[in-house]
Amino acid sequence: MTGTQTQSLQRLKQHFAQRVINQARQVLELWQNLHNSEWSRQDLVNMRDAGERLLRHAKRFEQFAHIAIAKQLLEVLAAVESNANRLNSHAIESITQLLQELLQTGLRQGESIDQVFLPTVVRKPIYLVLHCAEQAESLAQQLQSFYLQVEVFADADTFLQAMAKRYPAVIILDVDFIRPGYGLELAQQVKKAHDSAVPVLFYSENEVTALTRLAAVRAGGQAFSTGNLDAANILEKIESWVSVVHAEPYRALVVDDSKAQATFTERVLNAAGIMTRAITDPTQALTELLDFNPDLIILDMYMPECDGPELAKVIRHNERFVGVPIIYLSAEDDLDKQLDAMSEGADDFLMKPVKPRHLVATVRNRAARARHLKTRMVCDSLTGLYNHTHILQLLEDACERAQKLRAPMCFVMIDIDHFKQVNDTYGHSMGDKVIKSLALFLKQRLRRSDQIGRYGGEEFAVILPNTELHFAEKIINEIRLRFAAIRFPAQDQELSCTFSAGVVAYDGTLDSAQLADLADQAMYKAKHAGRNQVAVL
């Protein structure tokens, strides 16, 4: 076989694999929708159909990891269907685990397929409608460095024709496109002609009046930018608008001495995709808390061996569960007694009988807020990445998982080169912009199953599960090259930055601290060799 034929075969294989990945995305998105609505028979049918399509494509294109996951998924769905279409916590946990595995398939083991399971934005273009053609082309190049598709328009007719054919992920629109104020008119025209929710970022070279900003809001503007258009800032806004995150289902622990009430609550919450475990013996609550690690606890107020307020006090004595929301579910209708119970560490009170919709909404809202607060505790405020302490905890977990599954795993340390010079020459605000840009760049390029942390200052750490060393080196090196191509507007010139990285593979014997130390050594090896390179150990 000639070299050309080999390359053609490789491209064909990647095309086939991408077809399978597209089917996998559909399964993931269907499951994600369960966080916003209750499970119905039609949802089950849709998920089963998507699973069957995934299995057919995986068999046809010989994607063996996808075949195994699709088969197991269909088995779980068949069990749910035989149980009168009722989801239980075991089924939710099984499906979640399978979809986590699905997130890790299709890349780095035997195949080199780019952009697997990246945020939704990469699947649709960004439309640039700017008055200055030079500015539009420059911004397009910068956004393309972040792996985004970009289309630039020089006239209104071409833009409107493109809108009629395909909706973009985002429209970046100059309010003075072609002539003063015409961008606002164009946005209104698009809003009337197309029943879509495409976010619009309005732009003006100069500061505008409050009336112009109000007109932009009425024309569908999600944001307004003036002065310089910075690719990193735009990407940060885009990510918040269109990125779809595959989240773990919420977990709820129900403690109620009435088996009938506990079963009812469990079924209602499971049907809404909330993984629920119900117990009738309150003395077992602490054991279940440690084992199940819930996002939220639902307590009956009156139980024979231990009442709700007493159990709430016991739970709050454990520092690990101080922030876990507690909701009372009781027939008690005396407001004073409800308030007294609430004062013992609870967050809400629901009266029996409670409407299923009310119960689900309350649990979701409380669990979402608790998760948000927990995320704020484990994430870096500047970048949104995991902080130093949490990324090391995740590395420890990843080592244990890799050893248990006998799966490959790599750890990467990244350090921005000559970062002190950036701060000294251009100021700390520019330094922060560079750090945020690299964080966004890593999130865009890496898989959702990869874990990224800000190790400290200008240092980053990346955990790459299910990844061989040579694939890890290749991917980090590609990111290094693309990041070096980004230009940051700095005073009257443009700034570019590079980074050095060290990559190590977990061998099944090292602990997380030793692995982190080796990655640090590899990174300094790259530094001493001249910077702007990737070293492996």
Chain-centroid distance, C-alpha 100: 12
Query: Which residue would you say has higher pLDDT here, 153 or 441?
Result: 153
Question: Residue 295: its pLDDT value, please?
Answer: 92
Query: Which residue would you say has higher pLDDT here, 68 or 21?
Result: 68
Query: Which residue would you say has higher pLDDT here, 367 or 344?
Result: 367
Picking from 113-117, 222-226, 363-367, 471-475, which range would have the lowest pLDDT averaged per residue? 113-117
Predicted confidence (pLDDT) per residue in 327-351, tens digit: 999 888 888 888 887 877 778 888 8
Question: Residue 16: its pLDDT value, please?
Answer: 58
pLDDT above 90 for 498: yes
Query: Which residue would you say has higher pLDDT here, 187 or 197?
Result: 187
Question: Residue 23: its pLDDT value, please?
Answer: 79
Question: Residue 399: its pLDDT value, please?
Answer: 93
Give 381-440 as a DSSP string: TTT-SB-HHHHHHHHHHHHHHHHHHT--EEEEEEEETTHHHHHHHH-HHHHHHHHHHHHH
pLDDT above 60 for 246: no
Question: Residue 332: its pLDDT value, please?
Answer: 82
Question: Residue 109: its pLDDT value, please?
Answer: 41
pLDDT (mean) for 288-303: 89
The reported pTM is: 0.65
Structure confidence at residue 244 as a pLDDT band (50, 70, 90): very low
Structure confidence at residue 502 as a pLDDT band (50, 70, 90): very high
Structure confidence at residue 61 as a pLDDT band (50, 70, 90): confident
Backbone angles phi, psi at 226, to 5 degrees: -130, 160
Residue 22: both structure tokens together: 């597209």
If you ran DSSP here, which 8-state letter would residue 379 be given?
B
Compute how many other C-beta atoms are within 10 angstroms of the C-beta atom of residue 322: 10
Q: How far apart are CA 426 and CA 61, in angstroms?
A: 52
Listed ranges 97-106, 115-124, 361-370; the one with the highest mean pLDDT: 361-370
Question: Residue 415: its pLDDT value, please?
Answer: 97
Question: Residue 17: its pLDDT value, please?
Answer: 61
Short-list 384, 435, 468, 366, CA closest to 110 = 468
Q: How far apart are CA 505 and CA 59, in angstroms?
A: 31
The helix (run of H) or strand (run of E) holding residue 277 is strand 275-279
Question: Residue 362: its pLDDT value, please?
Answer: 92
pLDDT above 80 for 444: no
Question: Residue 35: its pLDDT value, please?
Answer: 60
Tell me what the pLDDT averaged over the chain comes to: 84
- What would be the CATH architecture of the domain defined by 3-103? Up-down Bundle (1.20)
pLDDT above 50 for 66: yes
> Which residues are within 8 A (CB) of 517 and not within 5 positions of it... i.e. 6 or more apart?
none
Domain covering 388-536, topology: Alpha-Beta Plaits (3.30.70)
pLDDT (mean) for 250-273: 91
Structure confidence at residue 37 as a pLDDT band (50, 70, 90): low
Question: Residue 24: its pLDDT value, please?
Answer: 80
Predicted confidence (pLDDT) per residue in 302-324, tens digit: 888 788 888 988 888 887 788 89
Phi-psi region of 499 (alpha: psi -120 to 50; beta: other; left: phi over 0): beta
Q: How far apart are CA 34 and CA 249, in angstroms?
A: 9
pLDDT (mean) for 502-513: 92
CATH superfamily of 120-242: Response regulator (3.40.50.2300)
**Is 279 strand, coil or helix?**
strand
**Is 494 strand, coil or helix?**
strand
**Is 105 strand, coil or helix?**
coil
Q: Give ranges for CATH 3.30.70.270 in the chain.
A: 388-536
Query: Which residue would you say has higher pLDDT here, 182 or 101?
Result: 182
Q: Give ranges for CATH 3.40.50.2300 in the chain.
A: 120-242, 251-377
Q: How far apart are CA 85 and CA 309, in angstroms?
A: 36
> Which residues are within 8 A (CB) of 475 and not within 5 positions of it... i.e. 6 or more apart?
108, 445, 446, 464, 467
Q: Give ranges for CATH 1.20.120 in the chain.
A: 3-103
Residue 222: both structure tokens together: 């999600």
pLDDT above 50 for 219: yes
pLDDT above 70 for 36: no
pLDDT (mean) for 417-424: 94
Domain covering 251-377, topology: Rossmann fold (3.40.50)
Question: Residue 209: its pLDDT value, please?
Answer: 93
Residue 424: both structure tokens together: 């000294």
If you ran DSSP here, which 8-state letter would residue 246 be given?
-
First to last CA, the chain: 35
Q: How far apart are CA 20 and CA 151, in angstroms?
A: 27
Q: How far apart are CA 342 and CA 309, in angstroms?
A: 8
pLDDT (mean) for 30-53: 78
Predicted confidence (pLDDT) per residue in 121-142, tens digit: 445 789 999 999 989 998 898 8
Share of the chain above pLDDT 90, in %: 39
